[in-house]
Chains A and B, each alone.
Chain A
Amino acid sequence: MKRNLKYNLVWLLIAVVGWILINVLEGVGIIDQFAETTLVLIGINIILASGLNLIIGFSGQFSLGHAGFMALGAYAAALVTQAMPTELGLALGIIIGMILAGVVALIIGIPTLRLKGDYLAIATMGAAEIIRIILINLKITNGPAGLYGLPQLASWSTVYVLVVVTTVLTVNFIHSRNGRAVMSVREDEIAAESMGINTTKFKVAAFVFGGMTAAIGGALHATYIQTIAPNDFGIMESISILIIVVMGGIGSMTGTFAAAILLGVLDMVLQSFGALRMVLYSLALILIMVFRPKGLFGTWEFSVKRLFNRKKRAKEEV
């Protein structure tokens, strides 16, 4: 029990040190407005991609509809904060977005998760398109023009805290009994079912969980960027989240972090290349996939526990 406390304290320390570090760098002027925006976008991408990694990497269900859930979170937060431009409004917006995304994920998930592989991918893509088309046609969402001039309520600290919270909750879920049941579905559905695992339930649970975290990402996007339109949440957005998951390593949260940071920084550095930017970006993707076909980290995870144990073992050997 005490040892678990130690590992958790180390993680807390890492999170606090990261926060202080960014604060200091900002104070000294190394992180300017442009770099801060990049950091925030990286943070949002981490939230989005870790949820998708839970669905694809851990429950083994191939979803191409992540941007749809992101859109629900974004619009919920935008509409609530427009009516209530306070911190409370932001919190309320995020929560409403999560509930909305969770309910929609449940409705989409129960029929479509019977499908597998490519079929599921196309069905989820279709579901996200339906969400986008509804947003275009509703009056309250201001149609294709979207919502703009939203109050900027999310700061980089908000994003940072939510990255930490969603990551901790997602990782805790993965390493729980429920999480193991989710992974057994990915490994062998028939065997899992024979061992008493209600595979439908756990597939839907992972899908809903992933959808709800996507809503958090969407809400932060809306309240930081201050402008949203239905076309921000099309298939290309789903694919760019997928790229982060695949590049980091399907089934590795560490990889999702690394890939989100790497791609975010790469994108920032390439800004000065103008039209060449997308070519270089794509080239980098191709090269990474050629040399690391299983993603940067495969299924490897960084673990404080293992680090400690290794140190202890090294000491014992001396």
Chain B
Amino acid sequence: MSVLLEVKDLTKNFGGLAAVSNVNMHLDDNELIALIGPNGAGKTTLFNLMTGQTVPSAGSITLRTDSGVQVLNGRKPYKIADMGLARTFQNIRLFKELSVLDNVLISMTSKNKEGLVSSLFRLPAFYKTEARLVKEAMDLLKIFHMQDLADTTANNMPYGAQRRLEIVRALATKPKILFLDEPAAGMNPEETAALTATIRQIQQDFGITVLLIEHDMSLVMNVAERIYVLQYGKLLAEGTPQEIQANQAVIDAYLGGGV
């Protein structure tokens, strides 16, 4: 396995606060990695740095692509998404007033650009591509058992379904790496169990790398091959679930030490 995404000495300062400082990480091909840490540890900031929503103060992020290793920092989020990094959001950010199908189709836009002439005059090619994309989107929805919801307005779906749609929408961009920001937040144990199975299935079927932020330790220990622990913006530990569970520093961080 070789390194797909590499983070070197990544730092982000908000005024005097170092939200992320000198973080080094690497994500390899087809890996399922979890990022954990207490509230305010800087996990989401780290996500935002990697996907381009936030610009790093120092350090570098590089991605291995077909045309060599490319630097990601300083690029616009849509360019980074185009290069194969897709994400979900901690607070759901669906295209609320649009249908489930449209939510998925929008994610396919960047890989299926169209000219102005085609969109204005509806040449036969327009219908052909449109039919192909709808089929692809429906196939993707089927995997998540959401094909019957295709015409539903995203906002009218139950919470769990909205979370699932966020994942489907991210997968529709055909990513190399999928970033999941607390996908199990607000879910009950059954929903979490189903999600755990889904995440595993995604990683295997799509052959992609998954980086997961999660507070639910049963989920994390169940699916993650490798875990990074973040505290006060610094990397506290790295290792397999067994190593992390036995790590004294991690136990102290979570339980307050001296227990």
A-side residues, CB < 8 A to B, are 1, 4, 8, 169, 172-173, 176-181, 183-184, 187-188, 190-199, 299
Contact present for A178 and B116 (CB under 8 Å): yes
What is the bound-complex CA distance between A246 and B130, given in angstroms? 31
> From residue A288, how far is it (CB to closest CB) to chain B in Å?
22
Interface residue B31 (Cβ < 8 Å from any Cβ of A):
no
- The 22 sampled A-B contact pairs (Cβ below 8 Å) are A8-B122, A169-B120, A176-B119, A176-B122, A177-B113, A177-B133, A180-B105, A183-B95, A187-B95, A187-B96, A188-B96, A190-B89, A192-B95, A194-B87, A195-B86, A195-B172, A196-B109, A196-B173, A197-B78, A197-B110, A199-B78, A299-B97
Q: Is the CB of B127 within 8 A of A172?
A: no
Q: In the docked arrangement, what's the CA distance between A172 and B95, Å?
A: 21
The answer to whether B51 and A176 have CB atoms under 8 Å apart is no
Q: With the chains together, A8 CA to B124 CA distance in Å? A: 13
- In the complex, which residue of chain A has the Cβ closest to the Cβ of B116? A178
For the complex, what is the distance from the CA of A177 to the CA of B172, rounded to whole Å? 14
Residues from chain B with Cβ under 8 Å of A1 in the complex: 124, 127
Residues of B within 8 A of A190 (CB): 53, 77, 89, 93
B residues with a Cβ closer than 8 A to A are 51, 53, 76-78, 81-82, 86-87, 89, 93-98, 102, 105-114, 116, 118-122, 124, 126-127, 129-130, 133, 169-170, 172-173
Contact of A180 among B76, B102, B113, B121 (CB under 8 A): B102
6 closest cross-chain pairs (CB), A and B:
A196-B110, A176-B119, A187-B95, A196-B81, A191-B93, A193-B77
Indicate if the CB atoms of A176 and B96 lie closer than 8 Å: no
A180 vs B108: C-alpha distance when bound (angstroms): 10
Q: Flag if B93 contacts A188 (CB, 8 Å).
A: yes
A202 to chain B, nearest CB (A): 9
Asked if residues B82 and A196 are in contact (CB atoms below 8 Å), the reply is: yes
**Is the pair B116, A194 in contact by a Cβ cutoff of 8 Å?**
no
- With A173-B119, A177-B114 already in contact, the answer to whether A193 and B97 are too (CB < 8 A) is no
Q: A177-B119, A198-B78, A199-B78 are in contact. Are A192 and B106 (CB under 8 A)?
A: yes
Q: Which of A177, A181, A192 has the most CB of B within 10 A?
A: A177
What B residues does A196 contact at CB under 8 A? 78, 81-82, 107, 109-111, 173
Structural contact, A193 and B95, CB atoms closer than 8 A = no
- Which residue on B lies nearest to A183, using beta carbons? B98
CA of A181 to CA of B82, assembled, Å: 14
State the Cβ distance, B126 to closest chain A Cβ, in Å. 7
**Most chain B CB inside 10 Å of its own CB: which residue of A191, A192, A195:** A195
Does B106 contact A197, Cβ atoms closer than 8 Å? yes
A8→B116 CA distance, assembly (Å)? 20
Partner of A194, one of B53, B97, B133: B53
Contacts of B51 in A (CB 8 A): 194
A177 vs B114: C-alpha distance when bound (angstroms): 7
Also in contact, A195 and B173, with CB within 8 A (given A176-B118, A180-B109, A187-B96): yes
Q: Which A residues touch B95, using CB under 8 A? A: 183-184, 187-188, 191-192
Instruction: Name A191's contact: one of B76, B94, B114, B129 (CB within 8 Å).
Output: B94
Question: Is the pair A179, B119 in contact by a Cβ cutoff of 8 Å?
Answer: yes
Which B residues touch A180, using CB under 8 A?
98, 102, 105-106, 109
Most chain A CB within a 10 A radius of its CB, from B77, B87, B108, B127: B77
Determine the distance from Cα of A1 to Cα of B105 in the docked complex, in whole angstroms: 20
B residues in contact with A181, CB < 8 Å: 106, 109
Q: How far is the CA of A179 from the CA of B89 in the complex (A)?
A: 24
Query: Which A residue's beta carbon lies closest to that of B166?
Result: A191
Interface centre among B102, B119, B126, B169 (most CB of A within 10 A): B119
* B129 neighbours in A (Cβ, 8 Å): 177
Q: Is the CB of B86 within 8 A of A194?
A: yes
Q: How far is the CB of A192 from chain B (nearest CB, A)?
A: 7
Q: Let me know if B112 and A177 touch, CB within 8 A.
A: yes
Alpha-carbon gap, A30 to B76, bound state (A): 60
B225 to chain A, nearest CB (A): 25
B76 CB contacts on chain A under 8 angstroms: 193, 198
Contacts of A188 in B (CB 8 A): 93-96
CB distance from B31 to the nearest CB of A (A): 21
**Apart from A187-B98, A196-B107, A196-B110: 18 A-B pairs, beta carbons within 8 A:** A172-B120, A172-B122, A176-B119, A177-B109, A177-B133, A178-B114, A180-B105, A180-B109, A183-B98, A184-B106, A187-B95, A194-B77, A194-B89, A195-B78, A195-B81, A195-B170, A196-B173, A197-B110
The answer to whether A176 touches B173 (Cβ under 8 A) is: no
Q: Which residues of A contact B106 (CB under 8 A)?
A: 180-181, 183-184, 192, 195, 197
